[in-house]
Structure 1
Amino acid sequence: MTTEANKILTPVVDDTLIAEYLEENTDFFERHPQLLQQLSLRHQERGTVSLVERQQQVLRQRIMQLEEEITDLMITARRNEELFRVYSELYVELLECTELADVMDALQRTFSEQLNMPALSLKFFDSPIELDEQFTFAADTHKKLLSKRFQNDPVYLGRLTADEKKLLFPDEPIASVALLLLGHKGELGMLAIGNHDASHFEPAMDTLLVRQLQALLSRILPPLLSHHAAHHDTV
């Protein structure tokens, strides 16, 4: 008897089957419009509302969400367009440089005045020519930094230790950096760009523009170093 009673009480159709049926028959309520007036849903703020009202509410919320997403995409697109323009102008300036000092001036103007990143450091490794102190590391102080930050990639984005920041930016409270090894195999030197915002440079961010800058500097700096050496020997 118990078994028979359970069979009688067990619903033939459960919620899952109803949901699947409605998904497969989206015109169900068009064929049965009277049900829309009979059905009601509990709403947290407005109490009981009709299915149509609730559906309209969900659609409005979705539209607002999409509008916010579109606005964010437009803001990002404008920001990327501006960044591309700034970098493009920098590339032209760098190609016209005839001295190392010109390169540094062009980089500082771009990153400090246009991109709001005043901390910049251009260093050369084991240079055979005499360079100003701003372009060199003291002894081998940089080698630990290189082995730690450049294991698999010539570009590093992220944060540094206090000692590493002091090595590159002794006078600036830098929170995040972009480090670019220069040269065919990173043997020439390093460009370091610092930002006061800890979240500005992150490992997951796109590196297209900084890699283009890295490639350009790797190409134009060796001739400028040779020119610098020749000029120094003449003097």
Structure 2
Amino acid sequence: MIDQPPASLSPGETPINGVSHDPEAEAVIAYLLRHPEFFAEHDELLVSMRIPHQRGDSVSLVERQLKLLRERNIEMRHRLSQLMDVARDNDRLFEKTRRLNLALMDAGSLDELVITVEDSLRHDFQVPFVSLVLFGDNNMPVGRWTSSSEAQVAIGGLMGEKAVCGALREHELAFLFGAEQGRQVGSTALVTLNHQGLLGVLAIGSRDPKHYKSSVGTLFLSYIADVLSRLLPRLTQSLRSVR
């Protein structure tokens, strides 16, 4: 008895390499036989297909080229996915930074400014350790104050034009976050507040020793520091006038 073509095939069509016993494969074969132009209209699928060109133990140059192109295509997709993730993270950071800077500019007092930056970093940015140290010869009733000379002794090597990231020494952590919290901080990002004079430092900490490292970007933290540096002299002077 002669085998009949599968019911899914149109009259005159025959299965490839004999009768297929896989219903899904039969359906695909039948569809492709009815639509021979399919891959011409969807040539992007050819990149992911595996079509061997072997001759004995050898592999043809065409197959080798296709394999390399396929691997590079997968690698480029992974890189693109990583770039998209970074872009989304930056978008979220930008929006949080924008909201914080607008709130800082709306602050009507030094007290409100200090509360705004600390609350936003802790709750909106989810930073577990925040330190805003202001420099002045006389302590103010608002915020944490110390003399610039004392700060130079404790963290002088960290203060400069650029933000600093990494693991700090024990006495540096104790100065910034206090002895108890300092022991919990694994890595720190610190930026100096400097506008027509040294005004203070802003530091954020993480329990993860690798969270803030030298290669991490500090652009958004620097933006926040720039706004703080321009607002602090005006609000500090207003507080002195009230006193």
Deviations 1:79-107 (A, max 9, x none): 00110000000011001111222122221
CA RMSD of aligned residues (A): 2.6
SS in 2 for 1:181: strand
Candidates 162, 171, 181, aligned match of 2:170:
162
Change (3 A) 1:121 1:189: same
Q: Distance in 1 between matches of 2:227 and 2:119?
A: 17
In structure 1, the residue matched to 2:32 is: none
Letter in 2 for 1:143: Q
In structure 1, the residue matched to 2:151 is: 142
Unaligned runs of at least 5 residues, structure 1: 1-36, 41-46
Structure 1 position 82 matched with structure 2 position 96: no
Q: CA deviation at 1:227?
A: 2.0
Q: Distance in 1 between matches of 2:235 and 2:54?
A: 82
When normalised by structure 1's length, the TM-score is 0.70
Asked if 1 retains the 8 angstrom alpha-carbon contact of 2:194 and 2:229, the reply is yes
In structure 1, the residue matched to 2:103 is: 93
1:107-186 equivalent positions in 2, closer than 5 A: 107-132=117-142, 134-137=143-146, 141-150=150-159, 152-170=160-178, 171-172=180-181, 173-186=184-197
Asked if 1 retains the 8 angstrom alpha-carbon contact of 2:137 and 2:146, the reply is no
SS in 2 for 1:63: helix
When normalised by structure 2's length, the TM-score is 0.68
Unaligned runs of at least 5 residues, structure 2: 1-52
Q: Distance in 1 between matches of 2:121 and 2:220?
A: 13
Deviations 1:42-68 (A, max 9, x none): xxxxx7433322222222111111110
Equivalenced residues, count: 189
- The sequence identity of aligned pairs, in percent, is 28
Asked if 1 retains the 8 angstrom alpha-carbon contact of 2:127 and 2:205, the reply is yes
Q: Distance in 2 between matches of 1:55 and 1:163?
A: 59
In structure 1, the residue matched to 2:82 is: 72
In structure 1, the residue matched to 2:16 is: none
